[in-house]
Amino acid sequence: MTTEKTAGKVWVFGDDIDTDALAPGLYMKGPLEELASHCLKAIDPNFAATVQHGDVVVAGVNFGIGSSREQAVEALKYLGVRTLVAKSFGGIFFRNALNFGMVAVVSADVDRISPGDRITVDAASGTIENLSKNETYTCEILPPQLLAMVRDGGLVEHLEKKRAQAQLKDAGQ
Amino acid sequence: MGRTLAEKIIARAAGRETVSPGEIVTCTVDLAMMHDSGGPRRVKPILERLAATVWDSDKVIVVSDHYVPAVDAESAAILDLTRKWTADNGIRNFYDMQGICHVVLPERGHLRPGMFVVGGDSHSPTGGAFGCFMFGVGATDMAGVLVTGETWIRVPGTIRIDIHGALADGVSAKDIILHLCARLGMGGAGYQAVQYTGDTISTLAMQERMTLSNMAAELGAQTGLIAPDETTTAYIRKAGGDPGDAANWQSDDDASYLATHRVEADKLAPYVAAPHSPANSAPVNEHAGVAVQQAYIGACTGAKLDDLHMAARVLKGRLVARGTRLLIAPASTRTTATAAADGTLAILTEAGAILMPSGCGACAGYGAGILADGEVCISSTARNFKGRMGSSSSKVYLGSPYTVAASAVAGRIADPRDLLESNAR
């Protein structure tokens, strides 16, 4: 299960990485495995093949701008990415990321993070620790309501939990 | 202190007297719209996993527009699933291959000022043209709405875009929004609400207003509002809808805005966005002369009836250049029917345009009309991201229907005002 504090090796991308780069329209009707193999191919042809479970994607402004297709998030998650740090996110992409239980945080200190750095991201306290450079940065805190959903693993898991709690309450009455 | 239109709608949907920008509130959803790509095929497994049913089937609208008509086994299966799911779930408002969702919704009278609407597509801000707080969500968010009838929102501030002056002939709403994309930058609105105001807006027809609201998405706004007026209520009544208490859904005079940007519309030239971002926009003369192999008039942004009328004014009595193909995909079947009845389609096809089915088509690379390696296209659509319309080495320029039509005639990017002036002579 995802927690709000995650660590991993960094991949750095620039500004305006759009949803067509993350989930190309040509592969949208096929299986997720195939779509994910084309994730970010237009920007970095090696990314999908070499990204490791737990790696962190760090980007500039407008990461995930464009379409509402949540496969843009799902492809990254399929490839093992659980944490995203950007100067800003596309609004719909940000919601989608949290819905999939991803830790997505906004930070102005992105430029201090280099490819291959190992970082931890704590969305509850709003801190990023760069273990490779021994530096600490700040990021925006995820509000408690949204953090609770991320902690549960995403919106579907969050709703499942709420339903189970409601059923328990009903049974107890 | 006065309240913005966005704050008024969100407060009403949240059951609150007032809301403040930045706070997170839970809102009751008045209407949920989804299409074949992000809709049933994505929400069905989630609803099954939660053992849940749709909270209110009369508040759900499904439109098949992305994979229409089916071109292979996968797209046929997606459409089949869409049809079966809507039938199984009692969704009466299902528009199968009738056009693009953002155009079909108002065309069939579903939007009423003051509504809080979620759409499973990023161009959902189009509904803002009708004074609805309508915004795009992903499929999991949509599933949450279908189960609970609610969703969360961080209350946005409002950026006012105040537009004044009469547009010159050959200049349209598309040129205003491309100009704004260049000025504010893609994502420049930072997921706040945008509200368009000013005397130019008052004179614009609904479909032109829809173009401005539609591409609020490219500004990075959550929605692109226009307060309802007589033009709005007349459109809604004609579509068989109920404008409700439209007069109440206005920003207060003393409402506070995050920023106000003024646009002198009378000074605007046609704008063209160069690859690969709508923000790479500049007056058409900066790109004039670039050879185009394809000209595309399509999508929710650029193939409504008013858009086809613009193209027809340029194409009447002219021919598409050799070596250039002009593809036109009217935004809805009603658009096609009306354009056939009023003579527009005859003008377009006599000029050599190729008529395509109504749907999202080539815009997002889903349908027919995608580009080969190195090809150049000028398009009336909203996005020109790298590889979006086909090959990742293709190049897409964005312009108004006037500009796309003029470029099709010239075989290269061209200023439509020259052709419109020679019409007048």
d(CA B53, CA B36): 19
Which residue carries 């004074």 as its tokens?
B131
Taking the Cβ of residue A42 and every Cβ of chain B, the question of whether any pair is shorter than 8 Å is answered with yes
For residue A136, list its beta bridge partners. A129
Whole-number pLDDT of residue B304 = 98
pLDDT digits (tens, 9 = 90+) for A118-151: 999 999 999 999 999 999 999 999 999 999 999 9
Give the chain B residue nearest A87 (alpha carbons): B190
Instruction: Tell me the shortest Cα–Cα distance from A105 to chain B, in angstroms.
Output: 15
Residue A2 pLDDT level (bands cut at 50, 70, 90): very low
Q: What residues of chain B, 61 to 80, have a C-beta less than 8 Å from chain A?
A: 67, 74-75, 78
Distance of CA A157 to the CA centre of its chain: 16
Sequence-ordered list of residues with C-beta below 8 angstroms from that of B417, at least 6 positions apart, any chain: B168, B169, B170, B171, B270
Instruction: Tell me the shortest Cα–Cα distance from A20 to chain B, in angstroms.
Output: 6
Taking the Cβ of residue A69 and every Cβ of chain B, the question of whether any pair is shorter than 8 Å is answered with yes
Torsion, Cα B44 B48 B49 B51, to 10 degrees, reads 140
d(CA B424, CA B167): 17
Whole-number pLDDT of residue A5 = 62
Q: List the domain boundaries for chain A.
A: 5-172
Best of B82, B133, B155, B186 to mutate (most A CBs within 10 Å, chain A)? B186
Cis omega (within 30 of 0) for bond into B69: yes
Q: Looking at the partner chain, which of A19, A70, A154 has a beta carbon nearest the beta carbon of B139?
A: A70
Across the interface, do A91 and B220 touch by the CB < 8 Å criterion? yes
Across the interface, do B365 and A25 touch by the CB < 8 Å criterion? yes
Across the interface, do B187 and A16 touch by the CB < 8 Å criterion? yes
Fold of A5-172: Aconitase; domain 4 (3.20.19)
Whole-number pLDDT of residue B196 = 98
- Locate the DSSP E strands across B42-157: 60-64, 93-96, 116-119, 133-136, 150-154
- Amino acid B348 reads L
Residue A6 pLDDT level (bands cut at 50, 70, 90): low
Using alpha carbons, list the distances in angstroms from residue B276 to A60, B156, B273, B384: 17, 28, 8, 5
Percentage of chain B beyond pLDDT 90 is 97
Across the interface, do B42 and A20 touch by the CB < 8 Å criterion? no
Whole-number pLDDT of residue B4 = 98
Using alpha carbons, list the distances in angstroms from residue B294 to B142, B336, B364, B389: 35, 21, 15, 11
Q: Which domains does chain B have, with CATH numbers?
A: 5-241+255-264 (3.30.499.10), 271-424 (3.30.499.10)
pLDDT digits (tens, 9 = 90+) for B128-159: 999 999 999 999 999 999 999 999 999 999 99
